Amino acid sequence: MNMKPDSRKSFLVRCSCLLFALKFLSPLPVFAQFPYPTAIPPDAQRNSSAQVRSAIGQLQNTTRTAPSYGEQGYGNVSQQFEGVRGAYQAFKQTLDPKQLTDGANDLAELDAGLDIIAGAFDNCRTEMAAGRSADAALRDMCQVLREASQVWVQEFNKTCSRLRTSWH
């Protein structure tokens, strides 16, 4: 195509005007989509894993004092255990899709571990309903919870190391 110099200038001016109009006068700007999910800051994962460890520490402290508080002690231990569950769920929310995939089995085992530990509450209630003294049943439950939560947090720490989510 053989264009005269004036035609070429006119064409370039028209194209420039069209691009300007599309870019600056368009009612809806067009943005490119980022193909990867935004990364979770490593500090968020470290802080969240530290909160899980702190919640375990609080649970263990509560299990040491709860037997002397009777029914209120049972409630305190139950509340602290739910705090562990909540902190662990919050921790899982900080994991990126790759970490969730890579750690799926470990995370499932940790979830199952919390469910197994929760069975200690049912056992305590069953023993009390069967006539065992509340103090003795609570004391045994607290011992089981202390030991089980120590094992659970060790597995949690191993999982964090494998997923590279925290320093501990």
Tell me, what's the pLDDT at 69? Answer: 87
Tell me, what's the pLDDT at 34? Answer: 47
Domains and CATH numbers, the chain: 50-163 (1.20.120)
Q: At what angle do helices 42-65 and 70-93 cross, to 10 degrees?
A: 170
Buried b (16+ CB within 10 A) or exposed e, 118-157: bebbeebeebbeeeeeeeebbbbbbebbeebbeebbeebe
What string of pLDDT tens digits covers the 168 residues of the chain? 555 555 656 665 665 554 555 455 555 554 444 445 556 677 889 999 999 999 999 999 999 999 888 889 999 999 999 999 999 999 999 999 999 999 999 999 999 999 999 999 999 999 999 999 989 999 999 999 999 999 999 999 999 999 988 655
Tell me, what's the pLDDT at 53? Answer: 97
117 burial (CB, 10 Å; 0-12 / 13-18 / 19+) is buried
